[in-house]
Structure 1
Amino acid sequence: MNWLKNVWYVAGFSRELDGGQVVDRRFLDTPVVMLRHSDGRVAALEDLCPHRLMPLSAGTRVGDELQCGYHGMRFRIDGLCTLAPGQTHMPSQACVRSFPLSEKHGLLWIWLGDAGRADVDLIPDIRWNDHPDWTPSRGYHHVKANFRLAVDNLMDLGHESWVHLRTIGQGHEECIPNYPVKVSIEGEGLLKAHREMPDIDAPPFFAMVLNHSGPINRWQTAISLAPSICMTDFGVYPVGTSADDAYRSHVCHLLTPETEESSHYFWSVARNKRLDDETLTQDVCEAITQTFDEDTEVLEIQQAQIKKLGGAVPRVALKVDEAPIRTRRLLDALIKREQEDPTFVYRPALMVDDATPALQMELTRR
């Protein structure tokens, strides 16, 4: 299966392991069970008892160990067997594969490749998920589609005018593809596609967050960081006001392949305004959930069509496909290097800085 292996993938939100919870998920078609030790360490094991292949997640947690629900074998968080009922000798093969698991920015990060290369300094910078200057609304979608289709969707924001008219999309007269996009490679594995949309009608979501129904100025930058993290950096502000006071949001789309035909979609929508407004936090969460429900429906239809008809998309490339196609090529090149060069280490570039909106817009015009 064509995945980049030696890289950190988002495995969940840190809070999911609080209170002794055990979480089981499949990543890159590998079953994994995760838990937090009583001393605070987080751990990830292959969700498979080596005896008769029962998932450990189907058993129980006993203290800081996982007990298989079939014959009671117990395993520490490093995968070593501590108990085989009915015998004192532990077979040398009675162990479970462990995976590096780390916490950063309120997220769980898992490394499914060569464990010896799992450098925590290579974890991407998603600081807005738990930064005091930003307030996030968070959520999760399970998508029955290949993660590359989801990345395509996020790097081609032109679809908003048809898929998201009830939330973030412009009407047909101001459809997003009519505004030119500037696509640029900013670093290893990093691509940006930037649009500016001056003096437009406010879509429902932006009218809500601005509490303003008149014309607005809008910019949005779709960012892709290989292999499967995207971010939509957008800003909106009423016409006649300053971009320096824009409502700005970093929408982090944290995709992790589950299988060839399904994906985990963790998301965090961090804003720079009304940070203590809990009602707004919930309203944003509900609106974004609706938005991503709309995306999910389209992605799952595409996946079903590809399975039925074969081939790949796009069958006919349009201008809006420039960023998705270039993003796929970046990832393919990284996968090829990893497969051909045993010394290659992918070092993800920084996703975006926090320059003021006015400065960002000025820079993109140069």
Structure 2
Amino acid sequence: MNWLKNVWYVAGFTHELDQAPFVARTFLGQPVVMFRTSDGQVSALRDLCPHRLMPLSKGRRVGDELQCGYHGMRFNAQGACTDIPGQTQIPAKACAQTHPLRVRHGLLWIWMGDAALASDDLIPDVHWNDDPMWTSSIGYHRLACDFRLVNDNLLDLSHESYVHLRTIGNDEEESIANYPLKVTIEGERLVRAHRDMPNIDPPPFFAMVLKHNGPIHRWQTAINMLPGINMTDVGVYPVEKTKDEAHMMHVMHLLTPETETSTHYFWTVARNFDLDDEALTGKIQAAISATFDEDQVVLEIQQKQLEAYGSAVPNVAIRLDEAAVRARRLLEQQVQREQQVPQTVLAPLPLL
């Protein structure tokens, strides 16, 4: 598959490097091992020893270096080989490729393309993840599906009434599909799909966070900044209150392709209410994780069906696919552009 490479992808949560000597993951089909040195520097190396291609993550950490578990060669945070047992001369080619890795807003961001183009100014702004005016719940799912299927899922939330009826969805009578959808394109990489849902019954999740079972007003905006930065901006409030009193949540769905048929799904749920309620933070984390478990079942079945029958069965688009179709077109255009002009980079756009 042809992926966009000259963009920042989420590689993990920053706390992961505090809890383990190193973290190994595959991004865009490339194996990577990440670690933090004793002085706080973060590093991402290609997870292959240049000698016999043994994953460095199968070895061990020695101080601020990684030692291959096969023949003991050691590599520092810059990818340079510092020691080869049995010899003093180190060949110039005995190095591990590095990838730019940054820390921002509680997340690790990795650049899999041309390192010379990796400007920190291109990292998307998701500041509410560590903003003191917001409190966040976080989580991770590994999905056995093409990341584009997840983008499709997040841009067409009408499935809530069928996949998520026990969590965030209303029944068919009040399905969000019944409310007008406004889709807009912004710049070269952002699709926005907005709905207002006045005077509806609260789904179970929103009844829980509002501590209110009566009718509510709800808005919901699905935002995709290609290739895989997604946000669901949600606001809910009882009908007897005003929009200024709404409980708001910014749900980030941060997708990084692992392979053509698997995806890293890092998610955060930032809220502007009950900031010190740790019990609520835990409840939201559990509820959202359960919601994404429901998505995972559907998406992984869809991936298997596409592999088995995709070339034989025509894909029928419906009106509710508008945002997803437009996002796919944008992505295809930008991938082609990057292939034609390898120095192409995409500036991030404001999500809100």
TM-score range, shorter chain: over 0.9
| Alignment partners' CA distance in 2, 1:184 and 1:108 | 29
Match of 1:286 in 2: 286
Q: Deviations over 1:149-181 (max 9, x none)?
A: 000000000000100000000101111111110
Question: 1:203 is matched by which residue type in structure 2?
Answer: P
Change (3 A) 1:130 1:300: same
Q: Which runs of 4+ in 1 moved over 3 A?
A: 311-314
Query: What are the within-5 Å matches in structure 2 for residues 123-202 of structure 1?
Result: 123-202=123-202
Contact 1:306 1:312 in 2 (8 A): no
Q: Distance in 2 between matches of 1:61 and 1:261?
A: 31
- Determine if contact 2:59/2:69 at 8 Å carries over to the other structure: yes
Question: What secondary structure does 1:98 align onto?
Answer: coil
Which structure 2 residues correspond to residues 206-285 of structure 1 after superposition, within 5 A?
A: 206-285=206-285
Q: Does the Cα contact within 8 Å between 1:198 and 1:216 map onto a contact in 2?
A: yes
Cα offset, 1:343, TM superposition: 3.9
- For the structure 1 residues 312 and 330, does the alpha-carbon distance in structure 2 shift closer, same or farther, using more than 3 Å as the test? farther
Partner of 1:300: 300
- 1:7 corresponding residue in structure 2: 7
3-state DSSP of counterpart to 2:15: helix
- Is the Cα contact below 8 Å between 1:20 and 1:36 reproduced in 2? no
Is 2:25 aligned against 1:28?
A: no
Supply the distance in 1 between the matched residues of 2:255 and 2:38 (Cα, whole angstroms): 29
**Contact 2:117–2:343 (CA<8 Å) still a contact in 1?**
no
Q: Residue type matched to 1:158 in 2?
A: S
Report the counterpart of residue 47 of structure 2 in structure 1. Answer: 47
CA distance in 2, matches of 1:301, 1:127: 34
Q: 1:313 to 1:170 in 2, by over 3 A?
A: farther
Greater shift after overlay, 332-341 or 278-287?
A: 332-341
Deviation for aligned residue 1:255:
0.4
Counterpart of 2:214, as a letter, is G
Deviation at 1:188, TM superposition (A): 2.7
The answer as to whether partners of 2:156 and 2:324 remain within 8 angstroms in 1 is: yes
In structure 2, C-alpha distance between the alignment counterparts of 1:319 and 1:193, rounded to whole Å: 13
Aligned to 2:203: 203
Across the aligned residues of Structure 1 and Structure 2, the Cα RMSD in angstroms comes to: 1.1
The question of whether the paired residues in 1 share the 8 Å contact of 2:217 and 2:237 is answered with: yes
TM-superposed deviation, 1:348: 1.9
Displacement of 1:247 in angstroms is 0.5
Q: Could you tell me whether the CA contact under 8 Å between 1:106 and 1:130 is conserved in 2?
A: yes
1:272-308 C-alpha deviation (Å, 9 max, x unpaired) = 0000000000000000000000000000000000011
Indicate conservation of the 8 Å contact 1:185/1:192, yes or no: yes
Q: Taking structure 1 as reference, are residues 287 and 314 closer, same or farther at Cα in structure 2, changes over 3 Å only?
A: farther
Once the 2 structures are TM-superposed, how far is the Cα of residue 20 of structure 1 from its aligned partner?
5.3
1:68 counterpart residue number: 68
Which amino acid in 1 is paired with 2:345?
Answer: V
1:341 Cα deviation after fit: 1.8
Letter paired with 1:85:
P
In 2: Cα distance, 1:188 partner to 1:314 partner: 29
Q: Which amino acid aligns with 1:135?
A: T
Question: Is the CA contact 1:188–1:349 (under 8 Å) kept in the aligned structure 2?
Answer: no
Query: Matched residues in 2 for 1:314 and 1:47: separation?
Result: 40
Residue pair 2:6, 2:344 contacting (<8 A) in 1 also: no
Assess if the C-alpha contact under 8 Å between 1:223 and 1:232 holds in 2.
Answer: yes
Deviates more, 1:332-341 or 1:56-65: 332-341
Give the deviation of 1:314 after TM superposition: 7.8
Q: CA deviation at 1:349?
A: 1.1
Aligned counterparts of 1:293 and 1:328: Cα–Cα separation in 2: 24
CA shift in 2, pair 1:42/1:211, >3 Å? same
1:120 aligns with 2:140: no
Equivalent-residue separation in structure 2 for 1:138 and 1:81 (angstroms): 36
Distance change (3 Å), C-alpha of 1:139 and 1:164: same
C-alpha distance in 2, partners of 1:244/1:135? Answer: 19
TM alignment of 1:340-351, pairs within 5 A: 340-351=340-351
Query: Secondary structure of 2:207's partner?
Result: helix
- 1:21 Cα deviation (Å)? 2.4
Structure 1 residues 248, 158: closer, same or farther in 2, change over 3 A? same
Contact 1:139–1:289 (CA under 8 A) maintained in structure 2: yes
| CA displacement at 1:109 relative to structure 2 | 0.3
Which stretch has the larger CA shift, 306-315 or 193-202? Answer: 306-315
Residue deviations 1:53-94, cap 9 Å, x none? 110000000000000001100001111100000000001211
Cα distance in 2 between the residues matched to 1:315 and 1:269: 33
The alignment of Structure 1 onto Structure 2 pairs a total of residues equal to 352
TM-score, normalised to structure 1's length?
0.95
- What's the secondary structure of 1:287's corresponding residue? helix
Deviation at 1:346, TM superposition (A): 1.2
Runs of 5+ in structure 2 lacking a partner?
none
